[in-house]
Protein backbone atom coordinates (compact mmCIF):
# COMPACT_ATOMS: atom_id res chain seq x y z
CA UNK A 1 0.00 0.00 0.00
CA UNK A 2 1.48 3.36 -0.95
CA UNK A 3 2.73 5.88 1.60
CA UNK A 4 0.15 8.55 2.29
CA UNK A 5 1.11 12.04 1.18
CA UNK A 6 -0.41 14.98 3.03
CA UNK A 7 -1.61 17.01 0.07
CA UNK A 8 -3.02 14.07 -1.86
CA UNK A 9 -5.12 12.94 1.13
CA UNK A 10 -6.84 16.31 1.26
CA UNK A 11 -7.20 16.49 -2.51
CA UNK A 12 -8.67 12.99 -2.62
CA UNK A 13 -11.14 13.82 0.14
CA UNK A 14 -12.33 16.80 -1.83
CA UNK A 15 -12.57 14.80 -5.05
CA UNK A 16 -9.77 16.83 -6.64
CA UNK A 17 -7.20 14.13 -7.29
CA UNK A 18 -7.30 11.28 -9.80
CA UNK A 19 -4.65 9.38 -7.80
CA UNK A 20 -6.85 6.32 -7.33
CA UNK A 21 -5.93 6.02 -3.66
CA UNK A 22 -9.35 7.08 -2.45
CA UNK A 23 -12.88 6.98 -3.76
CA UNK A 24 -15.87 9.17 -3.05
CA UNK A 25 -18.89 7.26 -4.39
CA UNK A 26 -21.96 9.11 -3.19
CA UNK A 27 -21.86 9.56 0.55
CA UNK A 28 -18.90 7.27 1.18
CA UNK A 29 -15.18 8.00 1.25
CA UNK A 30 -12.48 5.40 1.63
CA UNK A 31 -8.73 5.24 1.40
CA UNK A 32 -6.03 2.58 1.58
CA UNK A 33 -2.89 3.82 3.29
CA UNK A 34 0.21 3.12 5.26
CA UNK A 35 -0.41 4.80 8.60
CA UNK A 36 2.23 7.27 9.77
CA UNK A 37 2.20 9.69 12.69
CA UNK A 38 2.02 12.64 10.32
CA UNK A 39 -0.55 10.91 8.15
CA UNK A 40 -3.07 10.60 10.99
CA UNK A 41 -3.54 14.38 11.05
CA UNK A 42 -3.88 14.41 7.28
CA UNK A 43 -6.61 11.77 7.41
CA UNK A 44 -8.42 13.71 10.14
CA UNK A 45 -8.43 16.78 7.89
CA UNK A 46 -9.68 14.70 4.97
CA UNK A 47 -12.49 13.21 7.07
CA UNK A 48 -13.40 16.68 8.40
CA UNK A 49 -13.63 17.92 4.79
CA UNK A 50 -15.96 15.03 3.93
CA UNK A 51 -18.18 15.69 6.95
CA UNK A 52 -18.46 19.33 5.89
CA UNK A 53 -19.24 18.31 2.32
CA UNK A 54 -22.02 16.02 3.58
CA UNK A 55 -23.38 18.58 6.07
CA UNK A 56 -22.48 16.31 9.00
CA UNK A 57 -20.31 18.65 11.04
CA UNK A 58 -22.32 17.79 14.17
CA UNK A 59 -20.67 14.36 14.17
CA UNK A 60 -17.21 15.87 13.78
CA UNK A 61 -15.78 15.81 17.29
CA UNK A 62 -16.51 12.15 18.05
CA UNK A 63 -15.82 11.02 14.49
CA UNK A 64 -12.41 12.69 14.40
CA UNK A 65 -11.54 11.39 17.86
CA UNK A 66 -12.45 7.89 16.72
CA UNK A 67 -10.46 8.18 13.50
CA UNK A 68 -7.40 9.32 15.48
CA UNK A 69 -7.76 6.52 18.01
CA UNK A 70 -8.24 3.73 15.50
CA UNK A 71 -5.41 4.85 13.22
CA UNK A 72 -3.09 5.35 16.21
CA UNK A 73 -3.92 1.81 17.31
CA UNK A 74 -2.93 0.52 13.87
CA UNK A 75 0.36 2.38 14.14
CA UNK A 76 1.10 1.26 17.72
CA UNK A 77 -0.33 -2.25 17.88
CA UNK A 78 -0.86 -3.82 14.46
CA UNK A 79 1.94 -5.88 12.99
CA UNK A 80 1.87 -3.75 9.84
CA UNK A 81 0.87 -0.09 9.37
CA UNK A 82 -1.13 -0.91 6.22
CA UNK A 83 -4.81 -0.12 6.67
CA UNK A 84 -8.01 1.00 5.01
CA UNK A 85 -10.45 3.60 6.31
CA UNK A 86 -14.02 3.97 5.10
CA UNK A 87 -16.38 6.74 6.19
CA UNK A 88 -20.04 6.77 5.21
CA UNK A 89 -22.82 9.25 5.89
CA UNK A 90 -26.11 7.43 6.39
CA UNK A 91 -29.57 8.79 7.10
CA UNK A 92 -29.05 8.62 10.88
CA UNK A 93 -25.33 8.96 11.35
CA UNK A 94 -21.73 8.71 10.28
CA UNK A 95 -20.15 5.26 10.08
CA UNK A 96 -16.40 4.66 10.24
CA UNK A 97 -14.50 1.40 9.64
CA UNK A 98 -10.75 1.02 9.99
CA UNK A 99 -9.44 -2.28 8.64
CA UNK A 100 -5.96 -3.62 9.28
CA UNK A 101 -4.05 -6.82 8.58
CA UNK A 102 -3.49 -7.87 12.21
CA UNK A 103 -5.78 -10.68 13.37
CA UNK A 104 -5.32 -9.84 17.05
CA UNK A 105 -8.49 -8.14 18.31
CA UNK A 106 -8.22 -5.02 20.48
CA UNK A 107 -9.06 -5.30 24.15
CA UNK A 108 -10.72 -2.51 26.11
CA UNK A 109 -8.89 -2.59 29.39
CA UNK A 110 -9.34 -0.99 32.76
CA UNK A 111 -6.85 1.77 33.41
CA UNK A 112 -5.71 3.43 36.58
CA UNK A 113 -6.13 7.16 37.25
CA UNK A 114 -2.45 7.80 36.48
CA UNK A 115 -2.24 5.67 33.33
CA UNK A 116 -0.88 7.59 30.37
CA UNK A 117 -2.49 5.41 27.70
CA UNK A 118 -5.07 2.69 27.22
CA UNK A 119 -8.19 4.86 27.49
CA UNK A 120 -8.91 5.49 23.80
CA UNK A 121 -11.13 2.54 22.93
CA UNK A 122 -13.08 2.82 26.20
CA UNK A 123 -13.64 6.50 25.50
CA UNK A 124 -14.71 5.80 21.92
CA UNK A 125 -17.07 3.05 23.08
CA UNK A 126 -18.65 5.51 25.55
CA UNK A 127 -18.98 8.39 23.06
CA UNK A 128 -20.02 6.55 19.90
CA UNK A 129 -23.58 5.40 19.36
CA UNK A 130 -22.34 1.92 18.38
CA UNK A 131 -18.82 0.44 18.53
CA UNK A 132 -17.47 -2.97 17.59
CA UNK A 133 -14.78 -5.19 16.17
CA UNK A 134 -15.22 -7.82 13.47
CA UNK A 135 -12.62 -10.45 12.60
CA UNK A 136 -12.00 -10.74 8.86
CA UNK A 137 -10.09 -13.35 6.84
CA UNK A 138 -7.16 -10.94 6.47
CA UNK A 139 -7.26 -9.16 9.86
CA UNK A 140 -10.00 -7.12 11.48
CA UNK A 141 -12.43 -4.24 11.08
CA UNK A 142 -12.85 -1.85 13.99
CA UNK A 143 -15.94 0.29 13.50
CA UNK A 144 -18.23 2.81 15.10
CA UNK A 145 -21.25 4.98 14.35
CA UNK A 146 -21.91 8.52 15.52
CA UNK A 147 -25.63 9.26 15.52
CA UNK A 148 -26.88 12.39 13.78
CA UNK A 149 -30.29 13.91 13.34
CA UNK A 150 -32.08 12.19 10.49
CA UNK A 151 -31.52 14.13 7.28
CA UNK A 152 -32.26 13.59 3.63
CA UNK A 153 -28.93 13.28 1.91
CA UNK A 154 -28.38 14.94 -1.47
CA UNK A 155 -29.49 12.74 -4.35
CA UNK A 156 -32.44 11.10 -2.61
CA UNK A 157 -32.68 7.84 -0.67
CA UNK A 158 -29.40 6.46 -1.99
CA UNK A 159 -27.49 9.40 -0.57
CA UNK A 160 -25.41 10.20 -3.61
CA UNK A 161 -23.89 13.65 -3.83
Q: What percent of the chain has pLDDT over 90?
A: 61
As beta bridge partners, residue 100 has 83, 140
pLDDT score of 147 more than 50: yes
Helices 37-54 and 60-77: angle between axes, nearest 10 degrees: 150
Our measurement of the distance from residue 108's CA atom to the centroid of its chain's CA atoms, rounded to an integer in Å, reads: 18
Rounded average pLDDT over 44-58: 95
The per-residue pLDDT for 108 is 80
Amino acid sequence: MPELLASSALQDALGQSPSGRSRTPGAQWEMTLTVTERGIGDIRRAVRAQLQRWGREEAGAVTLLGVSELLTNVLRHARTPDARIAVRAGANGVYVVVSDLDRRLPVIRATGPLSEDGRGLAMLEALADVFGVTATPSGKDVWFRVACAEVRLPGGPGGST
